[in-house]
Amino acid sequence: MSDSIQGAGVKPARRRFLGAAAAGAAGAALTAPMIAVAQSPVVLKMQGSWGAKDIFNEMAEDYVKRVNEMAGGRLRIEYLTAGAVVKAFEVTDAVSKGVLDAGHQVAVYWYGKSKVASLFGSGPVTGANAEQTLGWMMRGGGLDFYEELQKQLGLNLKGFFAFPMPTQPLGWFKKAPPRTEAELKGYKYRTVGLAADLMQELGMKVTQLPGGEIVPAMERGVIDAFEFNNPTSDRRFGAQDVAKFYSMGSYHQAMEFFEIIFNRDKYNALSADLKAVLQYAAEAVSSANTWTAQDNYSRDLQQLIVKDGVKVSRTPKAVFEAQIKAWDKVVAKLESEDPFFKKVLASQKDWARRVAYYSFFNDADYKTAYEHVFKTKLPA
């Protein structure tokens, strides 16, 4: 029905009533409170550098869960496992270029761009552990150096750090693990970052591989020994199926933590409160990841021994001594080649000198207490 026909049948009084009602409604609309209209959330695509079964994948998902819950529907991270878009070692470039919005990895995975990258989570020993070194990142100037290195390299990233990892084992061997410096020589060994420089200094032939490629490389004979990170990750990808000797403890990666990165343009476009969610979720998940590691790593170490028949041993003191002497040579070379490397490591060492000193003087002798409580003698 047309407007003209519809209007013709309305009496004058009724027209006045309808006009008044419309005017009233308009006035009410001007004075009534605004009703919020739901907006679509900002969606960020994040890829991890971890396989679907890796414990690190669960730790990455714990970060995503915290962000999504705290963001209240305004921001959502969609998480992808390694290889979904790019390979594990390609996450940094993908996030920087905007192919991905975010990534979950370790900084050592882009050490090919600069060996300084290893200092942000997997550098040479300073006497400080991972928890103390993460303190350097957060309170001792490490983040400023990290940002400076990104600018030097033209990386368009914003990064956060989480989870000070336990010391990584020397690793897996097909035969009895090395007991002396001389026995290290000749192994075809997998590791990453500056640890590769260290192990090469000790006479190993090093191949750098992501976790998912380690077991196939062992099966093909490309490598005959390796480390990845921890008993849970190692057991889940089948380390016990290709080697039966596991040497615990090492200086090659005595400290490491996760790097959670975002494309800087995407990050800068967020409101201040959503930026805070991304930051504080990283700090919160650092504790959650630590508790997850304590529970799983300890249980899986026992499973490797009891169920899988792996011969687990403590890395001999002679190997530790050889590693720390080799570190001196590696570090001296890198400091002579790169003034920025020298500057960053000096800051890290200044922090370690003060913070680790406090711990060594103050910590209780937990090992003696453990041996007393459980009536057992631990390896030296």
Give the DSSP per-residue string, 18-82.
Answer: HHHHHHHHHHHHHHSPPPPPP-PPEEEEEEESS-TTSHHHHHHHHHHHHHHHHTTTSEEEEEE-T
Q: How far is CA 351 from the centre of its chain?
A: 22
Q: Hey, what CATH class is 42-165+256-294 in?
A: alpha beta
- Average pLDDT rounded to a whole number, residues 30-38: 49
DSSP readout, 321-353? HHHHHHHHHHHHHHHHH-HHHHHHHHHHHHHHH
- Judged against a pLDDT cut of 80, whether residue 11 lies above it is answered with no
Residue 378 structure tokens: 């631990």
| Nearest-10 crossing angle of helices 317-337, 339-362 | 140
* Predicted local distance difference test score (pLDDT) of residue 20: 45
Give percent above pLDDT 90 in the chain: 87
What does the pLDDT look like over 327-359, one tens digit per residue?
A: 999 999 999 999 999 999 999 999 999 999 999
From CA 337, how far away is CA 331, in angstroms rounded?
10
> Do residues 247 and 221 touch, judged by C-beta distance below 8 A?
no
Greatest CA separation found in the chain?
Answer: 108
Residue 39 confidence (pLDDT): 74
Identity of the amino acid at 101? D
Helix, coil or strand: residue 258: strand
d(CA 32, CA 1): 33
Write down the mean pLDDT value for the chain.
Answer: 91
Beta-carbon contacts of residue 89 (< 8 Å; ≥ 6 apart): 49, 109, 110, 112, 210
| Cα dihedral sign, 188-193-195-200 | positive
CA atoms of 168 and 288, how far apart (whole Å):
19
* Predicted confidence (pLDDT) at residue 288 exceeds the cutoff of 90: yes
pLDDT of residue 8: 39
At 278 the pLDDT is 98
User: Which tokens sit at 79?
Assistant: 């998480």
How confident is the model at residue 121, as a pLDDT?
A: 86
Sorted by where each begins, the domain ranges of the chain are 42-165+256-294
